[in-house]
Every structure is written in structure tokens, then in C-alpha cells.
Chains A and B, each alone.
Chain A
Amino acid sequence: MTSAWRHRLFVYGITIPFAVVLAFPFFWMGVTSLKPEAQVYDPTKVWRFHATLANYGYLFHHTEYVRWLRNSCFVGLLVVLVTLAVALPAGYALARLSGRVGRTLGVAIFLTYLVPPTLLFLPLSRVIAQYFHLSDRLWALVLVYPSFTIPFAIWLLMGFFKTIPQELEDAALVDGCSRLGALVRIVFPISIPGILTVVIFSFSLVLNEFVYAITFISSSANRTLTVGVPTDLIRGDLFNWPGIMAAILIPSIPLALVYNAFLNRFIAGFTGGAFR
């Protein structure tokens, strides 16, 4: 077998089965979302049924789905901005800080994830309500979410900045740039791939969050996606399965497309350098 065929066998032999397994649930979600609600449990209509877009129509016209999408996007984008604003400088500083201080702080970053939000939300809700007066406002989420996006972003950027050789900045300094100037003019432009990575990871962390969203937001208009769907599409004893499936698909596909697009630039940022 030629090496080209071996290559093809290896590559397709792995990616195709995995792609099928990983994506099949979404395919089935799509099928279910096209079924009329009454036929969802019918064992004779597993694959043969009257496809309909009624469930998507229901989502958009009879629930506040669009609003939840907007809220999730709003929170996501703002949290990404906050995360970048805080994590970029911190990641840079930690990358350049050699020695024990840098390493200890790096380890400390992991330790912030050891606390499960399942109970943290209680003291946090007091902080949000009493000290910030942000009960039932999306700003509460914008304030709290960076607490778990920033550590991971710092770690990502720390490793990323370490691949940028110190010589670049030193050269800029020799040319009369201030340290700060070197940072802004030389380092940050090169770190676009790292920034994109942080954007992707932070956004996905925000969308996956559930406990804080339930805790701090109560009114239907302010709900995010993760809270709105279980509440309004599960009416007591009736799971609106087709509606739920549609609700999952609508944000997932564009997001996966965007992540996929960003991935190339992200990898481009890492090739050709030692990532430590």
C-alpha cells in the first residue's frame, strides 16, 4: 500500500466514523424538529412522516425565543470583551514574568476552577442583589461570567505570548518605543490568533452556563437561551420535543461554522513556535 493510500486510510478512517458519531445526535435533532408534535412518539413514523416547519414557526412567533437568543448574544459578546480586556494584559504579564512568581500564579489560575458554581451562586446572589443591585438584569451575568472565563483565557494567552520571542519587543525598545508602546504596537497585532481563540472559548463557556443564569434572572424577557428553553418549552408534563430540538439546532449550526472558520487562524498562530 502506497504511503498516500495509508495516509488516506488513516485520515478518513478516523475522521469519518467520529464525525458520524459526534454529529448524529444533531441529525436526529433535525429530523425530530420537522415532525408534527403528535407523531413524535409514534413508532410507525420514525422516518416516514409529514415534514413540517410548524415547530420553527412556533419558536419564533409564540415564544420569546428570539429574545433569548438576543440576550445570550448580548451577554456573550460583552463577557468576551471584558475577558479580553482583563486577560490580555494579565496573560502577557504572566508570560513575561519568569521564575516562581509567574509559575505560582499560573497554577493559581487552575485553582479558581476547583470551586463548583453549584454552591457559589448563593453567596454571589447576595453580592449581586445587595451590593450591585443587579437582580434580574443581564448585567449581573456580564459581571459574574468573567469569573470563569478569565482564568482559562489567561492560561491560553500566557502560553500564546510565550511563543512570541522576547527579541521582537526588545528590538522595538531599542528603537525608542516605550514598553507600553511596544506592547500595543508590536505584540498585540501578532496575537490576533490567540485573541480569536479566547473569543471562541469564552463565548462557548458563556453559552454553556446554567446555574447562574437560573439564579440571577427571573423574568421571561431577560432569560438567556439556557433558561428559556427548559422553562417555556417544557410545559409541566409535556415536553415539546420538536420545539426543543429546533431550539437547540438554531444557535448550534452557526456557532460551529464560526468556530470552524476561526480554527484555521487559531492554528496558524501556533505553528512554527514552541508552545509552552
Chain B
Amino acid sequence: MSEDQLSRRELLKRAGAGAAAVGAAGAAAPFSFAGPMKFKNRQLKGDLSIIQWVHFVPAYDDWLDKTWIPQWSAANDVQVKIEHINNTLLDTRAAAEVAAQSGHDLFMNLHPMASYEDQVINHAPIIKEIEGKVGKYGALAKASTYNPKTKKYFAVSDNYVPDPVVWRHDLWNGVGEAPYTWDHVRKAAPKLKAVGHPIGIGQSQELDSNMALLAFMMCFGAFVQNDTNRPVLNTKKTIQAVNFMVDIYKNGEDSAIFGWNPASNNNYLYSGTASMILNAISATRTPEAQNLPFTNDLWIWPIPSGPGGRHGLEHVMGCYNIWKFAANKENASQFLVDLCVNYKQATIASQLYNFPSFPGAFPFKQIRKAAAADTHKPKGKYTILTTIAEKYTHNIGYPGTMNAAMDEVFSKFLVPQMFAQVSQGKLSAADSVRSTASQVNEIYAKWKERGKI
């Protein structure tokens, strides 16, 4: 592909011909993970340790560990050790590393760790350097990793993942509907359930449910906080949103949605049961890889619109931070800069799962071209991703910014709880919203006391 050749040329220019030869050789080397590189009896000068998640699209980790890191390592004379752990365990490791005051130089998490602001360096210089090369930091990323109160960048986001709905075109066609708006979804839900293919929007204590329900609320004009980071949960619109979703559940979903983990809605889809889920495109890439029978009937659309508009969230956002106690801050910074500047390769390696947080690294027009070249049917289905990314993707905490209080609301799964209580008949919508709002208010008050918002 011409894009690949271009990027290799860019790399050559930067690294010099000798390193390029090294890079080419390294790309072919058969190791299972990027461990210490002993290269031609030459000890590499510097060190760098990185920890991040096991990517939902295995091709990305393959690219990162076997292509990108060996090339970068040789070009910068740095020995890179990278660890991958399950995304649910990242929070634990972060706490342990901070408690121990020792750990990896670069720590990556799937959500910006706002509460760790005091433990990390100010990443402003890194961001400025990247901006100098590829253009401005995306608004979405900035709202997620910048604290306007303390004026500190507490993380660098290298990527975000747009969150579409993935729906079974054949099934929806069968009942004569399509998910343009949430009203359409509500109308179609009972019909789909009747033919044994309910909708699958989780209301569990896990990441996907959190994202889906927060985005759903936004489509009804209901938000956890406003643009000045003050909690505004208890409104009529929130109650309306809750009632609407409960209606969808009662008529069009089954109780499986209450006991999910982040993989469950995907599996619900892969087993052929679900007619629609809210998930990133790992939900289509895996069926493609496994040749599931309905792969070509999986369509990707933006989130349905509601009375409050069409608002979505990023599914996950990759955020790297550098601890204050990191041993190799310079190497870490350099790695981040190089990765973000060359993010085009990463996006392609991830099969368009990762979108660059610095849009200049891979402009939407070019992403659309790459998506259009994707041969999976229906042809061009991934081009909608750029539209979603451009227009319908907000940060957690929209219309405000991501902060420690929002982080805590998110980590305690208060929003899924708010919905699930009503769906299961434990509380009325008004009561559930009120009690959740009071918990939210307490959390915000606490962090305000600490001067973080």
C-alpha cells in the first residue's frame, strides 16, 4: 500500500540509512514480545519501560511490539520493555506503582486518570512538541487530559476510539426499521425481541454500560456536569432519559444485560443473538477474523439521535502518563512524541480502531480514504467512522472537562446503577435520579474541597 511506503520513507529520513537497515531486519525478527534487544553485541544505552492494555484488536499489539518498538528502539538507542496486562487490572497497577513510588516510565490507561494528577509530571512540553510537528491537540483529547483549574496536562492522549452502534442490518430490515433515532430504536425493540434478537445495551457495573448510558443521556440533554464542571444530574431530562431506556429494556431487551463485563456485549453479538450493541469496531473486526456467518450484515452507524441531539462519547481513550518518580522521563517523552507524530501507522495497524488524538497526524480525509479501501462488505462501511469522530464524539464529562470527580462517578458505576435500579423495578425513575444525584453531589463537593475542580 502506498501509505506504508510513505511512512517507511519518513522513518528513513529521520533515522538515517543505517537505522533503516536495522529497522527492516528488526521487523522480520521472530520474537514474541519486545524484550531487551541485544543487537549485534552492542548494549543499548538507555532504558524505557512501558505498561499498557492488551488491545482488543490483536493486530495493533503485533505491530507495536514487533514493528514499531524495535524500530524506535534501534533508532534511539534505547532498550524498551513493554508489558501488556488486562485492561481491568490497570487501575490496580497504577495504585500499586504510586504507592511503591516505583514502576514503569510510561503508564497507559483507557481512561484519563484525573485523580492521579499530583503523581505525574506536567505533560505540556510533550504536547507542545507534538503540536509543533503535526498541528493542534484535538479538542476532545484536551478536554480529557487538561485540568483548567490547575492548568496542568495530567496525561497525553495518543488515541481515542469513536463509538458507533453496530447493528444487524438483516434483522432490522426484517422488521422494517433502522436505528436513526432513539424513537426508532424504541419502536423496533419489541419487534426484534419477538423474533429472538433483542437489543443489547448493558446496564452493568462495567465500562461499556457506563459509556453507552452516559452517551444515551446526552442525547436527551441530560448531563452529569455542566460546562463549568458543576454537577447537574437531577433534571427532568435525566428522568425522561431513564424512563425511555427502561421502556426499551422492558420491551426489547432481556435481563442478560445486568450481569455483563466489558466483553459481554461483544459476545452477545458474536453469538448471533443481539440485534444492536453500542461498541467500537472490535465488534466487527472479530467477526471478520472469525468468519462469522452474519459478518457482512453488521452495519456501523452513528449513535441514534434523541431530543437533545446526536451525542456520543469516545469508547475508550488511550492516555499515557509519566510518573514523577519515573527513571527515564526523557526517553518516555521522546517515545510519546514519536508515536503521536507517526500515528498514521498506528491507526492503520489497529484496523482503524485507534483514531489519533492529534488529528494532524492522520487527517480525517486520509482516514476516510483508507476506510474506503477496506474490502469488507458492505463496502465503505468504515468511512462513517470519520463522521462520527468529527461530529458526534465528546469527552467524558461533556460539556465540561474530565476531572477527578467525574472519574470517581465513572469508576463507581453510578450511572449504570441509576438505570438498572429502575429497570428492575427497585425505584421509580425520579427517586433513582434523585438518590444518584445526591451521591454525585457529595463526590463533587469532596473534590472541590481538595481544590481539584
Contacts and interface: CB of A to CB of B under 8 A. Distances in A.
B79 to A, nearest CB: 14
A129 B83 CA distance: 18
Q: How large is the interface on A (under 10, 10 to 19, 20 to 34, 35 or more residues)?
A: 20 to 34
A234 B93 contact: no
A273 interface: no
Interface string B284-296: 0010001000000
17 contacts: A126-B100, A128-B100, A129-B102, A130-B101, A135-B102, A214-B92, A215-B93, A215-B96, A218-B93, A219-B81, A235-B54, A236-B53, A237-B262, A237-B263, A237-B267, A238-B263, A238-B286
Most buried by A among B53, B96, B97: B96
Contacts of A231: 54, 84-86, 89
A38 to B, nearest CB: 6
Interface string A213-241: 01110111000000000111011111100
A183 B365 CA distance: 82
Contacts of A121: 96, 99
Nearest to B268: A41
Q: How large is the interface on B (under 10, 10 to 19, 20 to 34, 35 or more residues)?
A: 35 or more
Contacts of B420: none
A135 B56 contact: no
B89 to A, nearest CB: 6
A235 B87 CA distance: 10
A218 B49 CA distance: 11
A157 B96 CA distance: 34
B88 to A, nearest CB: 8
A123 interface: yes
B53 to A, nearest CB: 8
B213 to A, nearest CB: 19
A122 B263 contact: no
A236 B100 contact: no
A107 B51 CA distance: 43
Interface string A94-137: 00000000000000000000000000011101101110000100
A121 B94 CA distance: 12
Interface string B261-301: 01100110011000000000011001000100000000000
Contacts of B92: 211, 214-215
Contacts of B311: none
Nearest to A219: B83
Contacts, number: 83
B263 A239 contact: yes
A236 B56 contact: yes
Contact of B56 (A214, A216, A237): A237
Contacts of B33: 220
B86 A129 contact: no
B102 A130 contact: yes
B272 to A, nearest CB: 8
A232 B99 CA distance: 26
Contacts of B237: none
Interface string B69-90: 0000000000001011111010
Given A214-B89, A239-B267, 7 more contacts: A123-B99, A125-B97, A125-B99, A129-B100, A218-B103, A236-B87, A238-B286
Contacts of A41: 267, 270-271
Nearest to A64: B32
B174 interface: no
Interface in B82-130: 83-87, 89, 92-93, 95-97, 99-104
A130 B100 contact: yes
Interface string A231-258: 1101111110000000000000000000
Interface string B238-264: 000000000000000000000000110
A230 B304 CA distance: 35
A218 B53 CA distance: 12
Contact of B266 (A123, A211, A237): A237
Nearest to B99: A122
Contacts of B329: none
B378 interface: no
A235 B58 contact: yes
Contacts of A126: 99-101
A218 B103 CA distance: 9
Contacts of B266: 237-238
B152 interface: no
B55 interface: yes
B96 A122 contact: yes
Nearest to A127: B100
Contacts of A215: 92-93, 96
B257 to A, nearest CB: 16
A40 to B, nearest CB: 10
Given A122-B99, A214-B93, A215-B96, A237 B85 contact: no
B85 A218 contact: yes
Most buried by B among A125, A214, A230, A234: A125
Given A218-B93, A219-B81, A220-B83, A234 B102 contact: no
A52 to B, nearest CB: 16
Nearest to A129: B100
Contact of A125 (B96, B262, B263): B96
A41 B267 CA distance: 9
A122 B92 CA distance: 9
Contact of A236 (B55, B97, B101, B270): B55
A126 B325 CA distance: 13
A86 to B, nearest CB: 25
Contact of B101 (A129, A211, A218, A230): A129
Contacts of B96: 121-122, 125, 214-216
A231 B290 CA distance: 21
A216 B93 CA distance: 9
Contacts of B53: 236
B290 A38 contact: yes
Contacts of B54: 231-232, 234-236
A111 to B, nearest CB: 24
